[in-house]
């Protein structure tokens, strides 16, 4: 296929796969698309290992890395950390009320609580990685590998990231949820825009893919645009290209693949979920992120809640708790199973069987070809 | 073009235009698509006039009528009206608090209030038309004209509507926001499904067009599906067909045409609006409906509000008020201009110039052809 994206990266099929799982990244790259490893959950040491593994498994084929770099942190975090990665200052900024609410949830759902001190410390380490300082370390590790793309998922890419990528000759991709943000990202140095509709999993805005993609394409032309949000099939990729995109950026669809890191209890929920079973909630990170609706989101967004904190403080509150909930859910604990969830887009309704990632790519290729045939038959050109 | 929709209705271009404006309906029908008149705002007598005018202007070409038939009314309305169209019972069910809040809005925004008694009576008449009894009269008037489609916008089409349409040999279309609703609508007798994504204007769900259309297509096959929500250009129509739809159902895009009934102050707001300037709010009808965000939606959905009532009670509260606000806004009153709004989808961001409706259709045809060429070039088949 011939799109700006295929030519730029030398790939056959204009599909970028965002995943935290190295196996998915390598499988998609090897199947003719391009995998992008989500690095935010990793320490610099662990990221180094993961990238080395990918290098060993893709035989020089292209892959990328995504680092979550918030343009501006929540005010309370700014106050607490002065923009710096100080776990203690962050911990001190979290009201007791939120820890009490969290403890109450474990009690109410009859789930053994995690060691609170450990959870706090683990959460604080996670929180520091979404500061600019934390992200910079991950960028440095990434650029020491033969990556072909570096992406930033939140806000304008900081000058340091753009400079480092430029010196290394690596294009920078930026995820946006509005045309105005796309304009700003290009001005800040983004070489590629991922226009992500509100139906997407994870941090997302409210404008749908159908509307956002043509808006962004018109705004940033000739900068290439990838469509994201809701896309899990080849006909949706065809739709994205019809809208003017140069390819698609898919994240959710990999979560129910054989390789995925998704915990079994959550994977089961995803396979059973319909497109109605997601919610845009601040309850995991402090910023609106689409995820499976579960007792966790219901409780945090419900009337008895103190309300989620901002980013990264809510990450600190939720991270250790969610790890524990996931672990306990595997043993069949019904309360933990009710609480467990994960980021996923509305296309979870289209994800109904477990397949190898390679198979997902092949099915998308096939479905894409059929959609194109259908369009040509309709218009009398086929 | 060859889609199920083109063949069934004998139209050239698979575009259905929902509009409350007879001029738009006739213009789209005459340009090769098919207009569908939204009848809910009309009395039976007025609808008779409008349809006679359309008959005189389309030279036998196909058009349809849309009647808003709620499957189930709000409980308070059921209690008040026992499902019947009793304006007095409906008025009695509205708490004083809501009238006081409304009066307070007029005061706060320095807008001369409407005659409250008149507004109540007018609103109650409007409210009765969204009962099944009220809708039945509109259906009878519609079926006495050579319409080619009857559509119901809310909930399952009542058996009476399906029976009447069947006897007259007229297909029934039903708007849905979920695959489950689509299944129920087909079971209830719908011949055609309009899968309407959450980005659409007016009453709408939360699942986006990109996800909903393939879900609904798979669920109701071989019943034909029209895609709705966010579609205002030919490339979006091409995307809809790629997703498996047989055509598109567009409502918002006509609101800024030359012919549109849209009040000048609101049309101006729409031309200036971006895709971020809409909100899904219950403040006009009692059910979530996407509309321009304005001081009206901010106030009703804000902290000082008693909260919108259900349907049709909120229609009774808001209808006379919105008419007055619109009228006063035309004189330049800043408070009225701040409050004024109307139903519109996120594609309002793509609606930036006033054009005749015929031109909109022609532009969509051209843009569609270009999108198809682009797709074929990409895939190497063009």
Q: Write out pLDDT tens, residues B237-296.
A: 999 999 999 999 999 999 999 999 899 999 999 999 999 999 999 999 999 999 999 999
| CATH superfamily assigned to domain B4-72+130-256+355-372 | Aldolase class I (3.20.20.70)
Instruction: For residue B177, list chain A residues with Cβ-Cβ distance below 8 A.
Output: none
Question: Which residue among B3, B180, B377 places its CB closest to the CB of A2?
Answer: B377
- Mean pLDDT, residues B105-109 taken together: 97
Instruction: For residue A212, list chain B residues with Cβ-Cβ distance below 8 A.
Output: 275
What's the gap in Å between the CA of B85 and the closest CA on chain A? 33
pLDDT at site A89: 82
Q: Is the model's pLDDT at B183 over the cut of 50?
A: yes
What's the gap in Å between the CA of B131 and the closest CA on chain A? 28
A194/B155: higher pLDDT: A194
**What is the Cα gyration radius of chain A?**
20
pLDDT digits (tens, 9 = 90+) for A171-228: 999 999 999 999 999 999 999 999 999 999 999 999 999 999 999 999 999 999 999 9
To probe the interface with B, which of A211, A232, A243, A365 has the most B CB atoms within 10 Å?
A211
Instruction: For residue A345, list chain B residues with Cβ-Cβ distance below 8 A.
Output: 211
Break chain A into its structural domains and give their ranges: 4-72+130-257+355-371, 87-127+263-339
Closest residue in chain B to residue A232, using alpha carbons only:
B211
Closest residue in chain A to residue B230, using alpha carbons only:
A211
| Range picked from A121-125, B185-189, B238-242, B377-381 for highest mean pLDDT | B238-242
What's the gap in Å between the CA of B134 and the closest CA on chain A? 32
The tens place of each residue's pLDDT in chain A, 382 residues long, gives 888 899 999 999 999 999 999 999 999 999 999 999 999 878 899 999 999 999 999 999 999 999 876 655 444 444 444 445 577 888 889 999 999 999 999 999 999 998 878 777 777 776 665 666 777 889 999 999 999 999 986 677 778 888 999 999 999 999 999 999 999 999 999 999 999 999 999 999 999 999 999 999 999 999 999 999 999 999 999 999 999 999 999 999 999 999 998 999 999 999 999 999 999 999 999 999 999 999 999 999 999 999 999 988 998 899 889 999 999 999 999 999 999 999 999 999 999 999 999 999 999 999 999 999 999 998 886 5
What's the gap in Å between the CA of A274 and the closest CA on chain B? 9
Token output for A158: 């900081």
Contact between residue A251 and residue A40 where contact means Cβ atoms under 8 Å apart? no
CA distance A63 to A310: 32
Which pLDDT band, with edges at 50, 70 and 90, does B76 fall under? very low
Instruction: For residue B244, list chain A residues with Cβ-Cβ distance below 8 A.
Output: 235, 371, 374
**Do residue B207 and residue A199 have CB atoms under 8 angstroms apart?**
yes
pLDDT at site B74: 43
Question: Which residue among B208, B215, B381 places its CB closest to the CB of A209?
Answer: B208
What's the gap in Å between the CA of B25 and the closest CA on chain A? 24
Question: Which residue among B14, B210, B276 places its CB closest to the CB of A199?
Answer: B210
pLDDT at site A274: 97
- Across all residues in chain B, what is the average pLDDT? 91
pLDDT over 90, % of chain B: 78
pLDDT at site B71: 56
Instruction: For residue B210, list chain A residues with Cβ-Cβ distance below 8 A.
Output: 197, 199, 208-210, 229-231, 236, 239
Q: Is the model's pLDDT at B105 over the cut of 80?
A: yes
Q: Which fold has domain A4-72+130-257+355-371?
A: TIM Barrel (3.20.20)
In 10 A of CB B112, how many CB atoms? 12
pLDDT at site A340: 97
């Amino acid at each position: 296929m011939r799109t700006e994206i295929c030519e730029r990266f030398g790939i056959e099929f204009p599909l970028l796969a965002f995943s935290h799982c190295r196996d998915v990244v390598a499988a998609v790259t090897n199947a003719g698309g391009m995998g992008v490893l989500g690095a935010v959950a990793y320490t610099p040491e662990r990221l180094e290992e993961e990238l080395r593994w990918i290098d060993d498994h893709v035989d020089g084929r292209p892959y990328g890395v995504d680092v979550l770099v918030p343009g501006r942190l929540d005010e309370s975090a700014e106050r607490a950390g002065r923009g710096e990665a100080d776990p203690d200052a962050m911990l001190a900024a979290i009201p007791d009320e939120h820890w009490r609410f969290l403890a109450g949830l474990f009690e109410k759902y009859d789930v053994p609580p995690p060691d609170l001190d450990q959870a706090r410390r683990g959460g604080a380490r996670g929180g520091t990685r979404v500061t600019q300082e934390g992200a910079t370390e991950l960028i440095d590790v990434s650029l020491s590998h033969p990556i072909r793309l570096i992406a930033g998922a939140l806000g304008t890419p900081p000058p340091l990231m753009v400079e480092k990528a430029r010196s290394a000759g690596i294009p920078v991709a930026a995820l946006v949820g509005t045309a105005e943000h796309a304009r700003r990202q290009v001005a800040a140095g983004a070489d590629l825009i991922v226009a992500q509709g509100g139906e997407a999993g994870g941090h997302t805005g409210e404008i749908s893919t159908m509307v956002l993609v043509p808006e962004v394409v018109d705004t940033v032309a000739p900068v290439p645009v990838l469509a994201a949000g809701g896309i899990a099939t080849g006909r949706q990729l065809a739709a994205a290209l019809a809208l003017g995109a140069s390819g698609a950026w898919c994240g959710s669809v990999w979560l129910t693949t054989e390789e995925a890191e998704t915990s079994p209890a959550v994977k089961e929920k995803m396979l059973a979920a319909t497109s109605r079973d997601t919610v845009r909630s601040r309850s995991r990170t402090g910023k609106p992120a689409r995820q499976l609706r579960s007792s966790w989101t219901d409780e945090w967004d419900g009337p008895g809640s103190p309300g989620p904190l901002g980013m990264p403080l809510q990450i600190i509150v939720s991270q250790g708790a969610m790890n524990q909930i996931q672990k306990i859910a595997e043993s069949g604990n019904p309360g933990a199973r009710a609480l467990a969830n994960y980021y996923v887009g509305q296309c979870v309704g289209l994800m109904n069987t477990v397949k190898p990632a390679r198979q997902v790519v092949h099915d998308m290729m096939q479905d894409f070809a059929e959609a194109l045939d259908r369009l040509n038959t309709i218009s009398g050109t086929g």
